[in-house]
Amino acid sequence: EMGTPRKPIRQLDLPVGLYVQTKSHDTSEIENKMKDIMQLSGILCINGQKYHTEIKDLEHLGELGNGTCGHVVKMLHKPSGTVIAVKQMRRSGNSEENKRIIMDLDVVLKSHDCPYIVKCLGCFITEADVWICMELMATCFDKLLKRLRRPVPENILGKVTLATVRALDYLKESHDVIHRDVKPSNILLDERGNVKLCDFGISGRLVDSKAKTKNAGCAAYMAPERIDPPDPRKPAYDIRADVWSLGITLVELATGVFPYKDCKSDFEVLSRVMQDDPPALPADQNFSPEFQDFVKCCLTKNYKNRPKYKMLLVHEFLKRYEAEDVNVAAWFAQAMNHCEVSAPSISTPTNFLTRRSDQIRLPTFVTSIIAKIQDYLKKIQSFT
């Protein structure tokens, strides 16, 4: 038997959605799609070779983290001697959770020809569990930012942005898919300097280039038109919502500071997104005019004036880093070898009360109790 994959650890972070979830797919349809995918169970393609694999052929090596709907571990594929990442997910009677599993699998399986999307090597599926086997990446930019304790250089972000926009454009043009969860933790980096997009559990299908599901994504990176749709009767949005999320991500990585780090609640974040001027790169930190303008374009509040991927790809900032040779691998190796543990910590949103989209909304009484506990612990610390 496959065994029982460990469930993802739930933390106090921003909820998956801001609205009450509704069923968008019939349960039987989801189950039928799962049965189709089950035909691929146990077939892994590693380094161009196909392996008919059993669970016993995988050796657990360690923990990697949590995704939108699964727990990610590092495992050794013993027949090939290859270390891989495995996202372990528990199937349930919840149609929304099963839909996420199917969406994640569907996108990565279809995107094998895109070098900017993490590669799926295969999957294992039983009546109770789903394991998605993927190429192993070194880290995500969320973890890297915490490790660095300083901003990511502009030239590195040039390559990161180029890869991310190409990945998003590929999803749109090849599969009519919008990611809906662009943020540092979903942008991966390997030791060779390759940048890849991951985690497609809450991606959505585009119909006439529009997405309609309201309850997907991370509120901290959510575009204004998704928070307060111009026409509530038709709350549709397009890929420009992900362009906004990319802009927030770039400000965070380029400055080392999450733009809304001082917010104490979900409501405060959403209010500031709607009422304040968009975040921008500080003028006194020697960012190039091209980079400043690129971020400004991404964070255009009126989505009708915000560029789509094709326009971003011809922006001077991306054209520059398409042509310029930047050794991302060397920078990453040096950064890992020379991280100053004693350096003052920069403000990242890790202590932000509610942030990531891979977490669920907790009942109000639970968050109230936890807030009281946090206040109590602070008082104790003040006496020590």
What residues act catalytically?
181
Cβ neighbourhood burial of 337 (10 Å; 0-12, 13-18, 19+): exposed
DSSP element (H, E) containing 204: strand 204-205
How far apart (Å, rounded) are the C-alpha atoms in residues 302 and 379? 44
How far apart (Å, rounded) are the C-alpha atoms in residues 8 and 92? 14
Q: How many other C-beta atoms lie within 10 A of the C-beta of residue 326?
A: 18
How far apart (Å, rounded) are the C-alpha atoms in residues 143 and 140? 6
DSSP element (H, E) containing 59: strand 58-66
DSSP element (H, E) containing 51: strand 49-52
- In the chain, alpha helices (H): 27-38, 95-110, 141-148, 154-175, 224-227, 240-255, 266-275, 289-298, 309-313, 316-323, 328-337, 364-383
Q: What is the dihedral of CA 110, 313, 151, 296, to 10 degrees?
A: -120
